[in-house]
Amino acid sequence: MPVEFTSDMPIYLQLIRLVRQGVASGELVPGSRLPGVREMAIEYGVNPNTVQRALVKLERDGLLYTERTAGRFVTADAARIAAVRGELADRQIDDFVRQMKSLGYNCRQLLETLEKKWSDHNGDD
């Protein structure tokens, strides 16, 4: 998957964000094996040490685990995955609410607009 890294944040943090998003969205399936460090470094065009740093942090956070000689895997801990998903959602919602407030929306207007857009994207949900 092609990724464009930005200069506003260290690359290892961007890799962490990418993996967290993949786990939260289900793109990275619980229990699935991740590619090796060198393979990921080639795929993303970064230094293997950068990939290793990100993966170690994700292991410390409980999102990944290592099986000796078998590689790194996505946690199967549903509660941990739900927590990460919630953290990502909270961050997005906080940013969204802050932006809408800066545009002059009140809570009622925001909810009406959100319900309309949700309906546009999902039918009658």
> Domain containing 72 — which CATH number?
1.10.10.10
Is 5 within a domain?
Answer: no
**For the chain, what is the domain count?**
2
What is the pLDDT confidence band of residue 1, given thresholds at 50, 70 and 90? low
What is the pLDDT confidence band of residue 2, given thresholds at 50, 70 and 90? low
In the prediction, which pLDDT does 123 show?
A: 67
- Which residue pairs from 23-30 have beta carbons closer than 8 angstroms and sit at least 24 positions apart in sequence? 23/63, 23/74, 23/75, 23/81, 23/84, 24/81, 24/84, 24/85, 24/88, 28/74, 29/74, 30/74, 30/75, 30/76, 30/77, 30/78, 30/81
Is 4 within a domain?
Answer: no
Instruction: State whether 83 and 67 are in the same domain.
Output: no
Mean per-residue pLDDT, 84-103: 95
Instruction: State whether 110 and 64 are in the same domain.
Output: no
pTM for the model: 0.82
Q: pLDDT digits over 4-42, tens only? A: 899 999 999 999 999 999 999 999 999 999 999 999 999
Contact call for residues 62 and 77 (beta carbons, < 8 A): yes
Is 1 within a domain?
Answer: no
Domain span at residue 107 reads 79-122
The angle, 0 to 180 degrees and rounded to 10, between the axes of the packed helices 11-25 and 48-60 is 50
Is 102 within a domain?
Answer: yes
Instruction: State whether 40 and 52 are in the same domain.
Output: yes
Instruction: State whether 90 and 46 are in the same domain.
Output: no
